[in-house]
Structure formats: structure tokens, C-alpha cells
């Protein structure tokens, strides 16, 4: 059989396009900001991960321009050989210092970070234990590793303990959780994750892609929110969200970071982070350190939006463990209702993200709204009024 047969026979996207409710690949024609030009019209952006609004910060933009002028457009090689800049080393040192770890290592993307860290650390006789709602890049890292994967029910600590009970004596175990889950916006029960992992002799890794700049003292992340920064063995994060760039990192003990540096195939066999991306991430990190009020403002706006949706009678997915985040999902239940609602909201000048199965269970489709520290209350009110009008007019 022709290997392309599955491509020619796949009709789902064509059917959604024909129905006029295809929600993906909208064309952005301006900078990533609270308001954007998208397909020729102003839209309030409630679908970005630009949590601190730093993609348009003048000093952050200027850092990228200066790096292009000094270093050129790229490194043309792996960090392992000719692709390490002084800028990479400076960025790694400041990430490690910011997170209170001995060392850090940067990767070309967040996806590559998880794939590279997990595949290096989890060997043939090791186990990696994952929350079922972890990001796809975590599962990619598990597949690249030679270890065995065990999954526990989302934020179910008794199931986590049961999984760790299945790890044979003498085998290593790494528990990996999202700090803030990207679709639901809920926060992992990190105190219990750490307690259970320690009781079983397992190590803990937190993917804080959506936690950095959002939670904890000065926006340092989920572990800092709980005061558990010394109990988490590996921090992973991205530059593409709060730090307004592209790339990712790990932070941990110097020996662990050095091991990954020399054993991670996604790291070794990829070209290094381009100079402008590294410079922007470093400038954004420094801006965050200098402006700890940004995560405070983000929290305030997130609470404002959460209260605003509730006051308007729009059903939202509640914040787990009482920790508000700038990701607020709205229930639309079915795939069709979600696609119709997203189209109407978009036509009325607001961009939100549809979350469909398999990213959610059947019957639990969502609209994912997310917020920036640079939004205004007036923008949020306008957007919430549009969303409420559509949600109340749409059958569920």
C-alpha cells in the first residue's frame, strides 16, 4: 500500500473548511500584542502565551536588533562544536541564578528541551512517571528515551503513588509534571508530588513553560509559589512565552546539567539558539527581574477576568487548588459548538483558542482564553462582552 494513502484519504480538515468553521492558521499581520491586526481587522488577543507582554517591550526588541548586528543571523552549528556564543553562556548563568540552581542549559525550542532532557536522563532500566495531561513534548521525550513510561490520572496523587509502587527496586524513577497545565490552566499539586516522590526515592522534574513569569516570587514559577524550589530537581521552561523569544532551558545541579549537555541527542545534533533569540530572552529575563510587579499585575487581571466571566454567567473551568492563572478555559462541550463559537467570536473582533479532542476528553471541548499583564480592564470587558454574547446565543 502507498504510504501516502492515509494523507489522501484524510478528509476531516476539508470537511471543517467546507463548513466555514476551520479555526486554525489565521494570518497575523502585526506584532504580538493585546490588540493585533489579523486578516485585515483589529482583534483583541486572548489567545497568546505572551503573559508579560514583553514581545513589544522596546528594550527587549532593541536587544535582539543589537545581537543581529553583532553576531549575524545564526550560528550554523551545534553548541557541541562551533555554535556556542558567549551570549548562550551568559543566558544560562543568569537563568540558573534566577532559579537558584547551580547550572542551566539552553535548547533551540521548548519542545526540544523536554525531548532532550528526558531522553538523556531516563535510561533503559529507568522509569518516567507522568501526569496524563502533561504536554506533548514530555511524551516525545519519553518515547525518545529507553525507559518505561507510567502515567497517572491528572493531579491524582493516590494514582501517582500507585505508579511509583510499580517501579522495581533498584530502578531509577523521574516524576515529570507540568507546573501550570497549558490547556486547563490548573496547577499541579506540587507539595504532594514532591512528598510522594521523595518517599519512593524518585526525582522530580517540573515543566514550568506556563509558570515562569506567572507564579511565585518575582515570577520564578510553580515551585517558588509553594516554597519548594530546593525540592524540585530539574526545572524546564521556555523562552517563547513570558520571555518573549524562542527556545527553552533546563536548570538543576551542575553535574546533572553537564550530563545532559553530553548525552542529549536533541541538544547535540541541533544547531544552537540563534543570537537574536538568546539576546531577547536574556533581556526579557532581566526586565522581569527589574519589574517584579508584572506577575502581580498579571494575577490581578486574571482574577478580574475570572470574576468578569462568572458575573456574566459564562461557565469557566475553576482554578484547581485555588491558584488563579492567566489561562481561563470556557466550556463549550462539543467540537461543533466550539468551532462555531470560535468563528463568531473571531468575526466580532476577539481571538481565542479552540481546545478539541484529543486535547480534551470527548464532550469537554473548551475555549482557551489567556491574558497578558499589558491588557487593560477596558479591553477585557470588551472581549468578555463579545464572548458572553456568543456563548449565550450558541446551543450547547
Residue ranges per domain, the chain? 5-51+292-393, 58-290
Residue 322 burial (CB < 10 Å; 0-12/13-18/19+)? exposed
Domains 5-51+292-393 and 58-290 in one fold: no
pTM of the model: 0.95
Q: How confident is the model at residue 217 (pLDDT cuts 50, 70, 90)?
A: very high
Name, in order, each residue with C-beta under 8 angstroms of 106's C-beta and a sequence gap of 6 or more: 88, 91, 92, 95, 247, 248, 249, 273, 278
Q: In this model, does residue 140 exceed pLDDT 80?
A: yes
Contact 28, 36 (CB under 8 A): yes
Q: Which element (helix H / strand E) includes 177?
A: strand 173-178
Give the whole-angstrom CA distance, residue 55 versus residue 110.
17
**Lowest mean per-residue pLDDT among 171-185, 225-239, 381-395:** 381-395
The domain made up of 5-51+292-393 has a fold known as 3.90.1150
The tally of CA atoms less than 13 A away on the side-chain side of residue 9 is 6
The CA-based diameter of the chain, rounded to the nearest angstrom, is: 61
Question: 222-279: per-residue pLDDT in tens?
Answer: 999 999 999 999 999 999 999 999 999 999 999 999 999 999 999 999 999 999 999 9
Q: How confident is the model at residue 396 (pLDDT cuts 50, 70, 90)?
A: low
Q: Which element (helix H / strand E) includes 369?
A: strand 365-370
Cα distances from 250 to residues 49, 143, 147, 236, 244, in angstroms, run 19, 19, 20, 4, 17
Contact 363, 338 (CB under 8 A): no
Question: 283-328: per-residue pLDDT in tens?
Answer: 999 999 999 999 999 999 999 999 999 999 999 988 777 899 999 9
The domain made up of 58-290 has a fold known as 3.40.640
Amino acid at each position: 500500500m502507498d504510504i501516502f494513502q492515509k494523507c489522501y484519504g484524510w478528509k476531516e480538515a476539508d470537511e471543517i473548511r467546507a463548513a466555514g468553521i476551520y479555526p486554525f492558521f489565521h494570518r497575523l499581520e502585526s506584532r504580538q500584542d493585546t490588540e493585533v491586526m489579523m486578516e485585515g481587522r483589529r482583534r483583541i488577543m486572548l489567545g497568546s502565551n505572551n503573559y508579560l507582554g514583553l514581545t513589544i517591550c522596546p528594550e527587549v526588541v532593541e536587544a535582539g536588533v543589537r545581537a543581529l548586528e553583532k553576531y549575524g543571523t545564526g550560528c550554523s552549528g551545534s553548541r557541541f562544536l562551533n555554535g556556542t556564543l558567549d551570549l548562550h553562556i551568559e543566558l544560562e548563568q543568569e537563568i540558573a541564578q534566577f532559579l537558584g540552581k547551580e547550572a542551566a542549559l539552553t535548547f533551540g525550542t521548548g519542545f526540544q528541551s523536554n525531548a532532550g532532557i528526558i531522553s538523556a536522563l531516563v535510561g533503559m532500566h529507568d522509569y518516567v512517571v507522568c501526569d496524563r495531561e502533561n504536554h506533548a513534548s514530555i511524551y516525545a521525550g519519553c518515547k525518545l528515551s529507553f525507559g518505561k513510561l507510567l502515567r497517572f490520572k491528572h493531579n491524582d496523587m493516590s494514582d501517582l503513588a500507585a505508579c511509583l509502587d510499580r517501579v522495581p527496586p533498584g530502578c531509577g524513577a523521574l516524576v515529570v509534571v507540568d507546573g501550570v497545565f497549558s490547556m486547563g490552566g490548573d496547577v499541579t499539586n506540587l507539595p504532594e508530588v514532591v512528598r510522594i516522590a521523595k518517599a519512593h526515592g524518585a526525582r522530580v522534574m517540573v515543566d514550568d513553560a506556563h509558570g515562569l513569569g506567572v507564579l511565585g516570587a518575582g515570577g520564578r514559577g510553580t515551585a517558588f509559589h509553594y516554597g519548594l524550589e530546593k525540592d524540585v530537581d530539574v526545572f524546564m521552561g521556555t523562552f517563547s512565552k513570558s520571555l518573549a523569544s524562542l527556545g527553552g532551558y533546563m536548570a538543576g545541579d551542575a553535574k546533572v546539567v553537564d550530563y545532559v549537555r553530553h548525552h542529549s541527542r536533541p541538544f547535540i545534533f541541533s544547531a544552537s539558539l540563534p543570537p537574536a533569540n538568546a539576546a531577547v530572552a536574556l533581556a526579557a529575563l532581566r526586565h522581569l527581574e527589574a519589574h517584579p510587579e508584572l506577575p502581580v499585575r498579571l494575577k490581578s487581571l486574571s482574577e478580574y477576568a475570572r470574576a468578569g466571566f462568572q458575573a456574566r454567567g459564562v461557565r469557566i473551568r475553576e482554578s484547581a487548588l485555588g491558584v488563579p492563572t492567566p489561562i481561563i478555559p470556557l466550556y463549550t462541550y462539543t467540537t461543533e459548538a466550539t468551532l462555531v463559537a470560535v468563528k463568531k467570536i473571531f468575526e466580532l473582533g476577539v481571538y481565542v483558542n479552540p481546545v478539541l479532542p484529543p486535547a480534551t476528553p470527548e464532550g469537554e471541548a473548551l475555549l482557551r482564553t489567556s491574558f497578558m499583564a499589558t491588557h487593560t480592564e477596558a479591553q477585557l470587558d470588551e472581549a468578555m462582552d463579545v464572548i458572553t454574547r456568543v456563548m449565550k446565543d450558541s446551543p450547547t
